[in-house]
Structure formats: structure tokens, C-alpha cells
Amino acid sequence: MRSLIIEDEARLARNIAKVLAETTSFAADISTDGEDGLHMALSQAYDLIILDLMLPKIPGLQILRTLRQKGCRTPVLILTARDASDDIIEGLDRGADDYLTKPFEMGELIARCKAMVRRVYDQPNPVIRVGDLRIDTASREVTVQGRRVILPAMEYRLLEYLAMREGQIASKTEIIDHLYDFQSENFSNTVEVYVSCLRRKIDPGPRHELIHTVRGRGYYIGERKS
Ligand code: CA
């Protein structure tokens, strides 16, 4: 999952990105003005946008309207000043999915972000089960046949992304777009490396493969398609 934080208070933006990195599997990009933020939102494949409303160059409500007019379906959580109920109503009416008023508890922001992404991927249950595999997206705990599997951050991120889209093929480009932020190195061959590491750890045996390769198209997790 990949998120975009459009927030001109640089310290707050960095803090949100840090907490997202520590407590979720979301990659995070930061933009500190409205013009740049709108451009990023329209040009990258984000799973979630956190949008401050008071921004230099282009205000948040205008960004929101433009995104929705251009058909962008990414869930947007707006950040507003306290006592700005007109802004909250207008934001929701223009297509925001959720809001928080400043100052807010970081834990509440994170929980709302995770809930929005679950809705987008139609996974209302934070615990995803695929065959013998169980992924608790709240605690990031993974078990296979009841056995705990410890995964490095990027392998977990890939697994959660595939599991959220269970049964659907994800191309290598989609995987790269949704897993890496601008800070990460993104060498496309690392996707194969992560997939093979994951397989070694979560596939219980050759007859019980969970992650499948579709030649020339990508990867998916779930029951093998004939
Ligand atoms: Ca602001």
C-alpha cells in the first residue's frame, strides 16, 4: 500500500509518515504544497491520500474537487482545523471519505487510514485468511498452518498487498507502484526476489502453493486458476 500526505506543516507530515512506517505496511510520500500534491496524486498509484485543507498554492477542497472530477477513486482523509464544520461538510460533499480535526491522536489517524484502505479493497475484516495462511493486518502477524512466520517489512508489504487483492493478478508494475515510495530504491528485479523469499516462507509445500505466477502478467495469491 502506498499513501500520499499533502500537508504544509513539514514536521507534522514527517511525523505522520514516520508513524505510518512504524505501525503499518504503507509506503508514504509527502508533498508540502497544493500544486505539487495535486500533481503527485494524479500521477502516482496511491491507495490513500491524507489531505490538509489549508495549503499554499491550491487549497485542499479544490484539490479534492479536481481529483474526483478527473475520476480519481483513491480514498481521501481530510485534515481540518477544529471548529471548521463547514469545511468538513463541504469536504465530505466533494468526495472525501473521512476527516480528522487538528490536533488529533496519531493512533486514530492510523486506524482510520487502515479502515479506509480495507473498504477500498473490500476486506472489511482486518484478519485475512487465504487457505492455511492467516494475516492479521492490525498487528502485522502472519501464520501458516498455525505456525508464526516472521517477515521483513517489504515481504510483509508485498504479502498484504497480494492478499488484499486475493485472486486478482497484480502485474510487476502495479506491485512496484503500490509498494515503493519515492524514497525506496526500486529495481524491478527485486519483485521476483521478494516473491521467491515469500514463497519459501509461506508456501507449506509444493502441492499447497499460495502465490502463483502468471507468465507475462504477474502474480496472485489464492486458489490456483485453471
Ligand atoms: Ca496547513
Residue 84, pLDDT score: 86
Percentage of the chain surpassing pLDDT 90?
85
Among 1, 91, 80, 4, which residue's Cα sits nearest to residue 42? Answer: 4
Q: pLDDT of 38-70, one tens digit each?
A: 999 999 999 999 999 999 999 999 999 999 999
Residue 20, pLDDT score: 95
Q: How much is the mean pLDDT over the chain? A: 93
Q: Which residue has the cell 507534522?
A: 12
Show Cβ contacts of residue 34 under 8 Å, excluding neighbours closer than 6 positions.
6, 55, 56, 57, 58, 59, 60, 62, 63
Q: pLDDT of 130-139, one tens digit each?
A: 988 999 999 9
Q: What are phi and psi of 81, to 5 degrees?
A: -70, 155
Residue 144, pLDDT score: 93
Q: Is the pLDDT score of 226 beyond 70?
A: no
Q: Is the pLDDT score of 184 beyond 80?
A: no
**What value does the mean pLDDT take over residues 94-111?**
96
Model confidence at 190, pLDDT cuts 50, 70, 90, reads confident
Å from CA of 120 to ligand 1 middle: 26
Å from CA of 7 to ligand 1 middle: 6
What's the pTM value of the predicted model, to 2 decimals?
0.92
Å from CA of 32 to ligand 1 middle: 9
Q: pLDDT of 71-86, one tens digit each?
A: 999 999 999 987 789 9
Among 30, 22, 65, 66, which residue's Cα sits nearest to residue 46? Answer: 30
Q: How far is CA 192 from the centre of its chain?
A: 20
3-class DSSP assignment, residue 187:
coil
Å from CA of 80 to ligand 1 middle: 8
Residue 180, pLDDT score: 86
- Under 8 Å between Cβ of 128 and 166: yes
Show Cβ contacts of residue 165 under 8 Å, excluding neighbours closer than 6 positions.
121, 220, 221
Å from CA of 191 to ligand 1 middle: 36
Residue 188, pLDDT score: 65
Q: pLDDT of 145-169, one tens digit each?
A: 999 999 999 999 999 999 999 999 9
DSSP secondary structure string, 91-151? HHHTT--EEEEES--HHHHHHHHHHHHHHHTT--SSEEEETTEEEETTTTEEEETTEEE--
Model confidence at 203, pLDDT cuts 50, 70, 90, reads confident
Higher pLDDT, 80 or 225: 80
